[in-house]
Amino acid sequence: FISIKGPELLSKWVGESEKGVRDIFRRARQAAPAIIFFDEVDALVPVRGAYQGSSHVTESVVSQILTELDGLEELKNVVVLAATNRPDMIDTALLRPGRLDRHVYVPPPDEEGRKKIFAVYLGQASDLLAGDINVDDLVARTEGFVGADIEALVREAKLAAMREFITVMGEKTDQERADAAANIRLTKAHFDAALEKVRGSLDRDALEASERQAWEMMYNQEQRSALEEAAAVVRRAELATMGVGPENELRQQADALRKAVFARKKDFAALRDQTAGLRERLDTPR
């Protein structure tokens, strides 16, 4: 298994970056069966000529990787994987059939995923948890949190408990503090305080923008058109219902369509029906 962070291969010296790419694929062929994993691959293979100031080095690296993937020397028993947070920045030549042509969108954790992550980090502090902590409530309040955010939240709650202990026991004797330390508990109030300081990496807009970047790779042209059309109709409905409450029927219909657009598993037939229904309501004079 050969793991490379994209930026690590880039060198200021002429030819060094391309040599690094050749060496990686040579090592993989010699060690086959092997896996090459490029992390942050967008830094290594950005769209050629699309960004002002992009260097000749990156364009040469893109060409070198393309050559290694489907050049004359066969990649036998070598699997190439790559990860990115910016699929829109990757040169499209890399995504064509025979190269990196299998695409998997890994979304942020949903409620079930966040619950499992909380189980890991709260399990490490199970002896400290007070009875008023409701994991389902924490899960509901942490939409847009990834694993690192949840870890930071639990850590901040522990720090809040420690600060409270120091404040309360500041004038006590060492023995009294030592005796009281065993009774420190993490409470709902500590998590409330932690949530004031720790924010999720992604809000709703960022979550949706992240998924839209993946549409180009995940869906065919017809499916992408359906998604874009539905998103445009949702936007029209939101503009038409600005200032109204969530109980408004048109607003509720728009929210339902938005959920269908960004659902993990998409039902395109139902999506088209919902889009047509909402558009008809918007086009009907009121």
Mean pLDDT of 149-173: 86
Residues of the chain above pLDDT 70, percent: 92
Domains 2-95 and 111-197 share a fold: no
Model pTM? 0.64
The span from the CA of 281 to the CA of 43, in Å, is 45
Specify whether domain 111-197 bears CATH 1.10.8.60: yes
pLDDT at 49: 67
pLDDT (tens digit per residue) in 4-24: 887 777 777 777 888 888 888
Q: Which helix (H) or strand (E) holds 271?
A: helix 268-283
Hey, what CATH class is 2-95 in? alpha beta
Q: What is the model's pLDDT at position 239? A: 87
- Please tell me the predicted confidence (pLDDT) of residue 56: 60
**Residue 159 CB partners (closer than 8 Å, separation 6+):** 194
| pLDDT value for 131 | 84
pLDDT for 208 equals 81
With the C-alpha atoms ordered 78, 83, 87, 91, is the resulting torsion angle positive or negative?
negative
Cis, bond preceding 7 (omega within 30 deg of 0): no
Tell me which residue of 279, 275, 283, 282 sits closest to 227, measured CA to CA: 275
Q: Which of 203, 210, 201, 35 is nearest to 106 (CA)?
A: 210
3-state secondary structure 21-59: HHHHHHHHHHHCCEEEEEECHHHCCECCCCCCCCCHHHH
Taking residue 78's Cβ as centre, other Cβ atoms within 10 Å add up to 19
> Residue for token digits 């409905």?
237
Residue 55 banded pLDDT, cuts 50, 70, 90? low
Nearest to 57 by CA among 6, 132, 121: 6
The structural domains of the chain, with segments of one domain joined by +, span 2-95, 111-197, 219-283
